[in-house]
Structure 1
Amino acid sequence: MVSLLLCLLTAAYTSYPAKALAGATVVPEGNRNASQPRIPFSSARRTAANQSSYDAKFDRVVAVLRRDGSLIRSIKRVAAIYDIDPVHMIGAIIGEHTYNYDSLDSAQSYYVKALAYAGISLDFAYGGENVEDFVQRDAFDTCRAQGRDSNRLWTCYERVWERSFRNRHVDGVRYANKNFNETFFQPLFAGQSFGLGQLSPLTVLKMNDRVKRTSGLPTLTARDANEVYRATMDPTISLHYMAAVLRDSIDAYRRVAGVDISNNPGLTATLYNLGDPWGRATRYREARAAGRVTWPQENYYGWLVNSRLSTLRSLL
């Protein structure tokens, strides 16, 4: 079971670029699991507390998207820029708001919220020290030696934090037993992810270079927390970051494991939910080489996307 969870992913799509990625084996469409994998207790508790059900939340999210033709057109436009089927973006939105969040607002309301965040003084810091200053410590030198790509850099920072600082005494300081994102990127203590795509500020910083290369949007820095939050909240920007996350997952599995998951929205939704696609692609490749698995598998979140794919496609 552990090996399966390490390489979670899967889904299906029919109309968009049907070409396989060069040199990659196409992962079959649909779910590998006959029944939905276990839903985490935290999601079940949150849903019960709001006197709702997953089916009701799914239906509500679908209804909001169906009414918002402008948003659907924006999703299609951004998906084309990143060369992905737009159903991957629909799947990520629906999965997030069915399991990890309790409502979906209109795109306009997220734009208004982004403006509200712009008026608040924000700082990505721990103990009064900005994260950009914190990662200048010698422990992070190996990260900078790998190059300046934002995804590799911030992923490396995250791993060094886990290995060398989390819940440890270092140079007379006791550091929190929290992950990197929780420690530095929640100045409002309002949750770990935000907006239409439920992105975290750390994810936005990781994807900044890819978004800049693909869409020409500005460079972001952790020293300007307000701009990072704007990219997280404002749909005109955050859709690009959602697409970048999904494109990154497809590229990770092609380059590392030699498989093409671009025809399987349940797999990209699973990775959107879990994160760390490059590490997961590596573990999947190793598990497959050892004969423990054949294909990447979806989690509960991706399973929903694959099982409701006809409904998701009807939105497009």
Structure 2
Amino acid sequence: MAALLAFCAVPAGAVTVVPPGNRNADQPDVPAGAIRRTSQTRGTFDAKYEKIRNLIATNDELRGKIDKAARAYGIDPIHIVGALVGEHTYNVDALDRMQTYYVKALSYLEAKVVFAYEGESVTDFVARPEFRACAGAKGDEALWSCRESVFNTAFRGRTVDGRSYPDNRFGAVFFQPFYAGQTFGLGQINPLTALGVSDLVHRVSGYPDLDPDKAPEVYRAIMDPDRSLAYMAAVIRSSIEAYREIAGVDISGNPGITATLYNVGNPRARAAALAADNKARAGAGQPPRLPEENYYGWLVNDKLPELEPLAR
């Protein structure tokens, strides 16, 4: 597997390298929601896995786009392949024709949607004084990660200034005007995730910066297959960088871990939690804990003999 490019080079011996393969002998439990979604379509996980694997295997243009995106963001293409396989095995079926994604992307430009909760736009919401600590965040990912943390601690499940906020994720409350939990496009990206890497995608791929006040353009970006692959690569690169810089852990050689983070999101907070845990473990004379794959990442690592040829 190709090594990461020099953008995340660190001094030798400064990081703990996560070895290839799964830490769990058996696949962790698949959530009930994933089981329910698949049973409602009378499908099976095996059939959905085969569909996305075959789509990638038989579409030379798609594989070329995956390779191009991976090279642009300095990651191994297997990380993008793994994320695609995980999303379309456990979340939605892959569409049979790539052209369908392009058509759907254009349709979102006409959608009259906004990112808001009970009439308050997310832009106005994050201008509240509770979010002042986020003003010094460096980069979009750190900024939106900080805002998500503030939402969780100060608003989630609480009543503030007479308004009750659901006990639900920031992304589900403010960024899912169609229905809660929805992700979009080839990469099954949600709007909050896209906003978190907008500056990186703009810098590397030249696509316009995303504006939370222009929701239709955000949806178009994550529905367009070409742009979606750039956002996927940016999300994966950001996860690798976060774990290296915050937790001192190199996950670039384990696509099951990067796929897990692609699935669960918020890598900076998770890397910080791992760093704090390992600091406590070091103080107790214990070895560091390595990140573990979830059910989604476990499948990716388990299927690597079939998937790696698709990333070459």
With normalisation by structure 1, the TM-score equals 0.90
2: CA distance between counterparts of 1:82 and 1:272? 15
2: CA distance between counterparts of 1:111 and 1:181? 24
Aligned to 2:186, which of 193, 196, 201?
A: 196
Shift of the alpha carbon at 1:191?
4.3
User: Is 230-239 or 171-180 further displaced after alignment?
Assistant: 171-180
2: CA distance between counterparts of 1:280 and 1:166? 19
Question: Percent of aligned positions with the same letter in both sequences?
Answer: 49
Shift of the alpha carbon at 1:122?
1.6
Counterpart residue type for residue 174 of structure 2: F
Aligned to 2:124, which of 113, 123, 133?
A: 133
How many correspondences in the alignment?
Answer: 301
Structure 1 position 81 matched with structure 2 position 72: yes
The aligned residue for residue 9 of structure 1 is none
Decide whether the 8 Å contact of 1:204 with 1:241 is kept in 2. Answer: yes
User: Is 81-90 or 183-192 further displaced after alignment?
Assistant: 183-192
The aligned residue for residue 17 of structure 1 is 3
Question: Residues 181-220 of structure 1 correspond to what in structure 2 (within 5 A)?
Answer: 181-189=171-179, 191-220=181-210
Question: Residues 1-316 of structure 1 correspond to what in structure 2 (within 5 A)?
Answer: 14=1, 16-17=2-3, 21-23=9-11, 24-144=15-135, 146-147=136-137, 149-189=139-179, 191-289=181-279, 290=281, 291=286, 294-316=289-311
Decide whether the 8 Å contact of 1:181 with 1:192 is kept in 2. Answer: no
Counterpart residue type for residue 200 of structure 1: N
Counterpart residue type for residue 17 of structure 1: A
1: CA distance between counterparts of 2:167 and 2:124? 20
* Structure 1 stretches of at least 4 aligned residues deviating more than 4 Å after TM superposition: 18-21
Shift of the alpha carbon at 1:68?
1.7
In structure 2, the CA distance between the partners of 1:17 and 1:173, relative to structure 1 (3 Å rule), is closer
Q: Which runs of 5+ in 1 are unaligned?
A: 1-13
Shift of the alpha carbon at 1:276?
1.6
1: CA distance between counterparts of 2:112 and 2:78? 36
Counterpart residue type for residue 48 of structure 2: K
In structure 2, the CA distance between the partners of 1:140 and 1:253, relative to structure 1 (3 Å rule), is same
Deviations 1:156-207 (A, max 9, x none): 1112122222222211222233321111112222742111111000100011
Q: RMSD between aligned alpha carbons? A: 1.9
Counterpart residue type for residue 68 of structure 2: R
With normalisation by structure 2, the TM-score equals 0.91
In structure 2, the CA distance between the partners of 1:105 and 1:148, relative to structure 1 (3 Å rule), is farther
Q: Which runs of 5+ in 2 are unaligned?
A: none
Higher relative contact order (Cα pairs below 8 Å, separated by 6+ residues): 1
